[in-house]
Chains A and B, each alone.
Chain A
């Protein structure tokens, strides 16, 4: 992965005050990719690839994304042909809205809604959906070119994306098929944590680095 020329780092990890950036940055280093933690929206807007992390509550994260100016930076980068990967809450933020503690608008990059898992699965199952679960592929995606159907990844979440059939590329079975990964053009999302999913997770991050993205 060389030859971008202008930017020494390929991937901008968006720092808007949410999420474990250290593990993500270490994961990219482990697969020989240079990722920079970026706090300046102007710098994020110029990146060829963006990674949107996130843990915690949707409403709070969405507000921080807007107040930091990163929401506009992401749109600008995508307009220039960049690729985006949202992880965990970062994936949920890609959708129209979430019903976590009220109703909060997301980035609206992918049609769909984020709802409590409790509404989707049988009541005897524990919440959060936490642990290793197998990926069931729904569609071919460049994100999966280095892994196989049935490979396990690590999940920790109490909310899941619904009404997003057109973008779902993988689900995980937990009493019901839960949205595990999505793709909408150059916008990708993983509900699970690739940076905590061992070798399989690193393969997914590597594949993201190899997806089509125009250098900015």
Chain B
């Protein structure tokens, strides 16, 4: 049976991890490679790196940092942020990314998902969508959640999956940052619409929130979070232990111990 995935998400600006990451046993808490290796050893099933850089120079630094991550971390890597065309896919896949996440780029150019899926395969293309309720309707927001696109979210997700997106990250703006739990209503609605893996994002504040996510929505494939992992509020090893105790299928690290 496929296990449910736990995915830490790291924001990177000018090649360095932002947000106050707080681990006493790390030498350099803003090094993507160092932090990636740390999470991988802690049991993360996958890593997501979002490039929040605006400048071309910063983008180059991100690409260099990603190369270093791929040199040291041997779990699947998803990269997002600033993916506006096939050239961006080429750039990040060339330095070790396994999947590429598109968000605003797909809204600007709706053909991008289909073109990328055709060239790199569905499994490589992840649709990331920021959703907020407006007058009781799920709406797609662009530009980091600042701009209402007017698009209805469920049909947008369906359209991108039909075009070839192999996975969907659903980020609820309504629950993001509140730490009161995932947006179960939104996530259930998305799971009913598509047959590709759905990754929940936005709102995780405790281990109990992940338990409730996977118990309430058996079709959800993964839970993604940032600050609760970075600040050590939730330890991934402990989270996976508790989820496994609740009967949620979890990957445990190799039981043999010792170094390779």
Contact = CB atoms under 8 A, between A and B. Distances in A.
Interface of A: 20, 22-23, 26-27, 29-31, 55-56, 126, 128-134, 146-148, 150-152, 154, 156, 173-174, 195-203, 206
Given A30-B72, A30-B74, A128-B166, A148 B254 contact: yes
B5 interface: yes
A146 B256 contact: yes
Contact of A147 (B2, B122, B256): B256
B96 interface: yes
Interface of B: prevailing SS: loop
B75 A152 contact: no
A198 B74 CA distance: 5
A206 B121 CA distance: 29
Interface string B66-84: 0100111011100000000
A200 B75 CA distance: 11
7 contacts: A20-B93, A23-B98, A30-B260, A56-B121, A130-B197, A196-B76, A203-B260
B3 interface: yes
Contacts of A150: 255
Interface of A: prevailing SS: mixed
Nearest to A203: B260
A148 B121 CA distance: 32
B96 A23 contact: yes
B1 A174 contact: yes
B44 to A, nearest CB: 9
A186 B54 CA distance: 51
B251 interface: yes
